[in-house]
Structure 1
C-alpha cells in the first residue's frame, strides 16, 4: 500500500515527465503554470476517496479502535465514494503525524494538541498545522487508593510522605504526564516518592488494576471515562477510595496545561461517598489545517446527522451532541467544521 506522500511523489514525477515532453515539442514556449499555484492545487485535493485515519485499528478492542470503526462506518455509508484506511498510531505522536500531513484524520488529546501548538512539553517544537473536527469524549483523572492506606488526600500524601507504591501509566502517555503534573502541583516528584521508600511504576491500566487487585501496589493514578471497568473489577476484591483534587490545584492545572475542571459522580463507583472534584481532557479528531473545507464539512455533517448510531458505538459516546462536539478541542476548529456548526446554530 502506498502512502499519500508516495502517491503524490509518483503523480509529481509523471507530471514532470509530461511537462518535459510538452516543452520539448513546443520549442522555447514556457508553461503558464505558476509553481505556487500548483502547490495550492495539491493542497486542495480532496481526501474523501482515500482517508487515512491515524490512531485506530479496524476491528481492534481498544476504545479508539471501536470509535474509529464506528466513525469509518458513518463516513463511508453517508459520503459516496469515501474510503477509510486505518493507520495505527501512538497517542502523542499522532499530533506530529497529522501536523506533517502524513494522515488525514487522527485521534489525539486536546491537551496535547494544545501543547503541540505552543511548543510546550512534551513537544520539542511547535506543531501548529492541526485543526479540530470535533470532541469525542472526556477522560478524567482518577487517583484511587486502597482504603487501608493511611492517607485521605493528596495534601496528606505530601505531608506524611508514606512509602506509597504508585502506578502512573506508560512512560510518556497522557496518563503518566497528567499524573506527574498532578503530583508536582502538590510539591511531589517521582524521586520524592522513591526517597520515602515507595515506588513509581509505569504500568498500563490493565496491569495496574491486576496489581492493585493483588495488593502489589497501593494506588493508581489513571485517566479514563468513569466508570472504568478496570476499577470496577478491582473494587470487587478490594476496598477502595478515590482522592479528590483541591480546587486551587485544579485551577492551576487548567491554566498551565489546558485541562478542564471535572467531577467524578458519586454513582460512578460503589465505593464513592460523594462527587469527587478532578480535571479532565478531551479526546478529539484532528486534521491538517489545509484539508479542503468541503471535505471536513461533509465528514462532520455525516457524524452530526448520525449521533444515534454513534451513541451505540461505545459507552463513552452516550452523551455525544453537536454542542459537545464543537467545544473543548484545545485547538481551533477547522473551517469546514465551523461552517457546519454555524449552520446548526451551535456556534456564532
Structure 2
C-alpha cells in the first residue's frame, strides 16, 4: 500500500512539474543591425527588459542581428521578426512606396516609438582628407554599409544629394567592425557608420590609433541632401565624445524608431510600450543613446502611423499625437 501511495505521489509530482514546464510563451524577435552599431545593443536591451518584466505573462523577447533597416522591413513582412528598429528614411519610404520601395508600399507598417537620432559618421583616413567634409569621399575606397541595409540606403541618399554615385567611389559593403578593421589594415580608405552616439566601432577607431577622422557636413551640403531626402537635420557631436577627439563634429542625423506590423495584437503592443516607458532607467544603462527617449520625444521624427496599442498608451499619458500618426484602423 505504501509503495502504491509513494508511486501515486511520484506520478502527481511529475504531472505538476510537467504542467509548470508547459507554459506557453509568446516569442518576439526584434530585428536590429550589425553588432558594431547601436541598433543591436538597444534591441538586445529591449528584449532583455521585456523578458525580465513580462515573462510571468508569457512573453519572451530577444534582439537579433541583421543587415539593417532594409532587411528588417523584409523580416517584418515575412513574419520572421515581430518588431524592428528602422531608420526614419527607410520607414518613410516603405510605408509611402517611394525611393527603393517605389510601387510596393508596406501599408501595414506601424510605428511604436522614436528611439534615438541616427547620427551620420562618414570616416576617412587622415591622409585622404582634403576639405574635412563628406565631399572628400569622392575617388576613395569607401564602405557604404552591408548590402540591403539601412546604412547603404542612407549613405546612397546622402551621396545623391552631393551629386555622387557609387561610380564616383570604389564601393565596399562592410559592417561597422569590418569597416574599421579594413581601415586599420590599410585595405580601405573610409566608410559610413550611422548610429547613435557614441558608436562602438568609432570609439575603437580613435582608441586603437587608426589614423582617421569623422568628416563634417556643411550647411550647404545638408540643404543639398534634403532637396532629395528631406529627413535629415543638423547634429553636433561634442568634443570629447570619442577618445582623442578634441573638436566638435558637425554632422547630420535622422530619427530611428521602433516598428511593427498592424497585425500584432493591440493589447500586446500596449503592454510592450507601457513596460518600455515605465523602465527607461533600465534602457539608459544599456546605451547612452537611449537617454534620448522620453514621453516628450516619443514621436520626434516619426512619420509612419502608430500601432493602435502604442496609440492607446500615448493617449492615456496625454501625449500630443499629430493627425498623420493616427492609426488608419481607428479611422475606418
TM-score by length of 1: 0.72
Task: Tell me which residue corresponds to 1:245.
Answer: 217
- Structure 1 residues 241 and 76, CA gap change in structure 2 (3 angstroms): closer
Distance 2:249 2:176 in 1: 20
Task: Tell me which residue corresponds to 1:203.
Answer: 174
CA drift at 1:154: 4.1
CA drift at 1:322: 2.0
Secondary structure of 1:257's partner? coil
Task: Tell me which residue corresponds to 1:339.
Answer: 312
Distance 1:249 1:64 in 2: 26
TM-score by length of 2: 0.75
- Structure 1 residues 300 and 183, CA gap change in structure 2 (3 angstroms): same
CA drift at 1:101: 5.3
CA contact (8 A) 2:145 2:175 kept: yes
Task: Tell me which residue corresponds to 1:275.
Answer: 248
Task: Tell me which residue corresponds to 2:76.
Answer: 98
CA drift at 1:95: 1.9
Task: Tell me which residue corresponds to 1:137.
Answer: 116
Distance 1:63 1:228 in 2: 7
What is the Cα-based RMSD across aligned positions, in Å? 3.0
Deviation by residue 1:17-73 (Cα, 9 ceiling, x = unmatched): xxxxxxxxxxxxxxxxxxxxxxxxxxxxxxx9524324169xx89754543343234
Aligned to 1:70, which of 34, 45, 55? 45
CA contact (8 A) 2:160 2:225 kept: no
CA contact (8 A) 2:161 2:228 kept: no
Aligned to 1:227, which of 198, 217, 235? 198
Distance 1:150 1:286 in 2: 38
CA contact (8 A) 1:169 1:221 kept: yes
Distance 2:247 2:267 in 1: 46
Q: How does 1:48-59 map to 2 (within 5 A)?
A: 50-55=26-31
Mean Cα displacement is larger for which, 248-257 or 302-311? Answer: 248-257
- Structure 1 residues 99 and 255, CA gap change in structure 2 (3 angstroms): farther
Aligned to 1:320, which of 277, 293, 307? 293
CA drift at 1:137: 2.6
Task: Tell me which residue corresponds to 2:303.
Answer: 330
Aligned residues: 291
- Structure 1 residues 146 and 271, CA gap change in structure 2 (3 angstroms): farther
CA drift at 1:306: 0.7
CA drift at 1:78: 3.9
Check if 1:146 corresponds to 2:146.
no
CA drift at 1:307: 0.8
CA contact (8 A) 1:66 1:314 kept: yes
Task: Tell me which residue corresponds to 1:19.
Answer: none
Aligned to 2:150, which of 130, 151, 174? 174
CA contact (8 A) 1:259 1:279 kept: no
Deviation by residue 1:207-232 (Cα, 9 ceiling, x = unmatched): 21112223332222221223223223
Aligned to 2:85, which of 100, 107, 113? 107
Aligned to 1:215, which of 177, 186, 191? 186
Secondary structure of 1:223's partner? coil
CA drift at 1:129: 0.6
Deviation by residue 1:103-143 (Cα, 9 ceiling, x = unmatched): 43233222211110121232251112111111223321111
Distance 1:96 1:64 in 2: 17
CA drift at 1:156: 5.5
Task: Tell me which residue corresponds to 1:288.
Answer: 261
